[in-house]
Amino acid sequence: MKIGFIGLGNMGAPMAANLSAAGHAVIGFDTAGVTVEGVVPAATIAEAVSTAEAIFTMLPNGAIVRAVHAEIVAAARPGALLVDCSTIDVESARAVHDLALDADLISLDAPVSGGTGGAAAGTLTFMVGGAEGAFEVAKPLFDIMGSKAVHCGAAGAGQAAKICNNMILGISMIAVCEGFHLADSLGLSRQAMFDVASTSSGACWSLNTYCPAPGVGPKTAADNGYRPGFATELMLKDLTLAADAARATGAHAALGEHARAIYAAFDAEGGRGRDFSALLEHLSKA
């Protein structure tokens, strides 16, 4: 297929590269002018999308997604598949769907989970909102970039699933970090803490797969100086989206709001640019 890819940052670049490596003709655009192996650079958004059969976007926030998609729909050919993989608010995702529909484009919101490691390895999970038929068209492309794609429902459902999932992740990582911090304070070794909790009722992804304690469990960002696989500011962004959604819908999410406040403080006190699991080190120094 001819594929346009807008947003070649830490996530978009490896995703586009994997599509190219699978044999697709990928044209990419990024405001930073970055180059990606196998991806033909475009000077403008219009150049990247005008002949594309499928168009992917991976962008920072809802305002930018809306602005970029206004340019895309003006240049894309009718019937093209438009897939936004950004993590944004549900309202913006639905607005982009409406833009695409009015331009006779097929549209999906498809945020991802798996971080930069998953993007590079092609093991991302896609949470997808939009029509079932559009999902089936996009599924072979999701299979190149990821190991799982779940059709979550109508327009905006992918974004809803993403912010709910990451609220759970943020809360659980805080619990794991506080558990290790308390274990340290009580004189319990981190290895013993891991060996017990990872095979007991405390087991969870934040502990078993992404342990925040260096030298314990599988290799994680903690073993690489907390170089971000998922940066603190991105966790704060997702928790803020979840908190905003809870307020807008009247949902009760007290722990989600508290987690947002904890990560806001951590971000302001040295966490920005570090992996979100570095909260453990922050607690240890507090």
* Both structure tokens of 151: 């059709």
Q: Which of 245, 281, 279 is nearest to 264 (CA)?
A: 279
- Cβ atoms 30, 43 nearer than 8 A: no
* Both structure tokens of 256: 């989600």
State the virtual CA torsion across 143, 146, 147, 150 in degrees, nearest 10.
Answer: -80
- pLDDT, residue 121, reads 97
- Cβ atoms 125, 149 nearer than 8 A: yes
- pLDDT, residue 285, reads 87
Cα 124 to chain centroid distance, Å, stands at 9
Mean pLDDT over the full length of the chain: 97
Please determine, for residue 286, whether its predicted confidence score (pLDDT) is greater than 90: no
State pLDDT tens for residues 13-51: 999 999 999 999 999 999 998 999 999 999 999 999 999
State pLDDT tens for residues 140-171: 999 999 999 999 999 999 999 999 999 999 99
What spatial distance separates the first Cα and last Cα of the chain, rounded to whole Å? 53
State pLDDT tens for residues 216-263: 999 999 999 999 989 999 999 999 999 999 999 999 999 999 999 999
CA separation (Å) from 69 to 87, 171, 194, 266? 15, 33, 46, 33
CA distance 261 to 265: 6
CA distance 123 to 144: 9
Region for residue 209 given its phi and psi (left: phi exceeds 0; alpha: psi -120 to 50; beta: otherwise): alpha
Of the residues 148, 162, 219, 237, which is catalytic?
Answer: 162
Q: Which of 85, 82, 86 is nearest to 48 (CA)?
A: 82
Gyration radius of the chain's alpha carbons: 20
Catalytic residue flag (residue 162): yes
∠ CA 160-162-163, nearest 5°, is 70
- pLDDT, residue 76, reads 97
CA distance 175 to 32: 37
∠ CA 265-156-25, nearest 5°, is 100
**261 Cβ neighbours under 8 A, 6+ residues apart:** none
Please state, for a pLDDT cut of 70, what percent of the chain lies above it: 100
Per DSSP, which regions of 16-80 are E strands? 25-29, 39-41, 54-57
- Tell me the pairing of strands 81-84 and 54-57: parallel
State pLDDT tens for residues 71-126: 999 999 999 999 999 999 999 999 999 999 999 999 999 999 998 889 999 999 99
